[in-house]
Amino acid sequence: MLQANFIKENREKVLERLTVRNFKDAHLIDEIIILDQKRKDIQADSDNIQASINSSSKEIGNLFKQGKKEEAEEKRTNVANWKIELKELQEEADLVKSKLEDALLAVPNVPHPSVPAGNTDEDNEVFKAWEGDFPKLPERHFPHWELAEKYGIFDLKLGVKLTGAGFPVYRGKGAKLQRALIAFFLDEAEKAGYEEFIPPLLVNEESARGTGQLPDKEGQMYHATVDDLYLIPTAEVPITNLYRDAILNEKDFPIKMTGYTPCFRREAGSYGAHVRGLNRLHQFDKVEIVRIEHPEQSYAALDDMLEHVAGLLDKLGLPYRILRLCGGDLGFTSALTFDFEVFSAAQERWLEVSSVSNFETFQSNRLKLRYRDANNKKHLVHTLNGSALALPRILAALLENNQTENGILVPEVLRPYTRFDIID
């Protein structure tokens, strides 16, 4: 959520940058400015009335002590009238505030200057293309879902039996490979200075609001209505919320956190070839990295995160490319996002395995997450996060790219974790 003040002071710039993501609602922007002014006016009025009530109350107390009953009674009627007035003002204030909140919630983050205009994923800019070789597959090769069946790596039909579509059951070496990837990613994050967390998988409404899942995107999350809790769609939610309502010192930066969690997404996806196998699931595993940064450092941090994710893919030997998302494809809360896609050789497709974003102050405003500068002034921090990495598509690409006549080869870096070299 942007700050009303920021919008007011940067009206033209905000409008201009938002056109990059096809947001052109100048009316909404102006409404915010008007509502915010109205809010201030009402508060000034009601503060004045409250001040009168407060001082009268003190006088009434004194008058009673002095036995001046009549004067006291007179003031009491005054106070009663003010209270009626105050109540009306407060009702108006509540209305204005909720309208303002709604309007602010409808405004997406302002894209970074480097974000290209565009409507769909086809307009994304290839920030770093793959210049290496693509895997050479054997004559007879298979997409990962057929390999899964052949080698007993995961079973979607069993998942349907237990739960429903989109809930895979990993088994045998498939389960071990999954566990190996998680451990590998966490170890790499630790080496890069990220502190590991194991957060709750259910969060309350406040947390879901903090990172921007609520309101608006409730359809995306599984909701345990009896207890009013939400299954997390990503570790970003609990981990970023660790710092909700906090005031940091400049020396606390950078804050680097990581965590492995299962992720749950309701999004009733389409069916067909593009979502077959592990391409799109309701439950999947992911290691996430989250950073809380000084505003001046946040873009350097973003670069650092890109490097980290690229390093993981290099070590796994997967061909990948990096995209800079265009305005139309950019998430609502993000100022700048880079997607990583790996090439899955049997499907002959690029699969998104990571999304690394800088939210600038869009989340921290909601989270009330600030820092104190050298002059003791408080400012909002910048928050960032990225997948490092999402497991299913990594697994899909590994299976497809590493298949041989004799089985599927495990990448060198994972062998200490799996303790087997080949799935056959």
249 binds RNA (CB under 7 A): no
Q: Tell me whether residue 80 or residue 126 sits nearer to RNA (CB atom).
A: 80
Bridge partners of 322, per DSSP, are 128, 340
47 binds RNA (CB under 7 A): yes
24 binds RNA (CB under 7 A): no
In 3D space, the residue among 99, 355, 105, 103 whose CA is nearest the CA of residue 213 turns out to be: 105
Residue type, 383: T
Length of the chain: 424
Among 58, 136, 140, 251, binds RNA (CB under 7 A): 58
Distance CA 4, CA 29 (A): 9
Among 158, 247, 268, 300, binds RNA (CB under 7 A): 247
44 binds RNA (CB under 7 A): yes
**For residue 340, what are the CA distances in angstroms to 4, 60, 111, 129, 144?**
34, 70, 19, 10, 20
- Of 54-62, 102-110, 299-307, 405-413, which part binds RNA (CB under 7 A)? 54-62
Among 19, 22, 48, 119, binds RNA (CB under 7 A): 48
61 binds RNA (CB under 7 A): yes
- Of 79-87, 210-218, 288-296, 414-422, which part binds RNA (CB under 7 A)? 79-87
83 binds RNA (CB under 7 A): yes
Least spacing, CB of residue 301 vs RNA, in Å: 24
76 binds RNA (CB under 7 A): yes
74 binds RNA (CB under 7 A): no
Q: Tell me whether residue 152 or residue 200 sits nearer to RNA (CB atom).
A: 200
Q: CA angle, corner 354, sides to 106 and 242, nearest 5?
A: 65
Among 13, 24, 64, 216, binds RNA (CB under 7 A): 64
Among 79, 105, 242, 422, binds RNA (CB under 7 A): 79
Least spacing, CB of residue 92 vs RNA, in Å: 15
Q: Tell me whether residue 111 or residue 210 sits nearer to RNA (CB atom).
A: 210
Among 291, 324, 370, 382, binds RNA (CB under 7 A): 370
Footprint of RNA on this chain (CB under 7 A)? 40, 43-44, 46-48, 50-51, 53-58, 60-61, 64, 76, 79-80, 83, 247, 370, 378
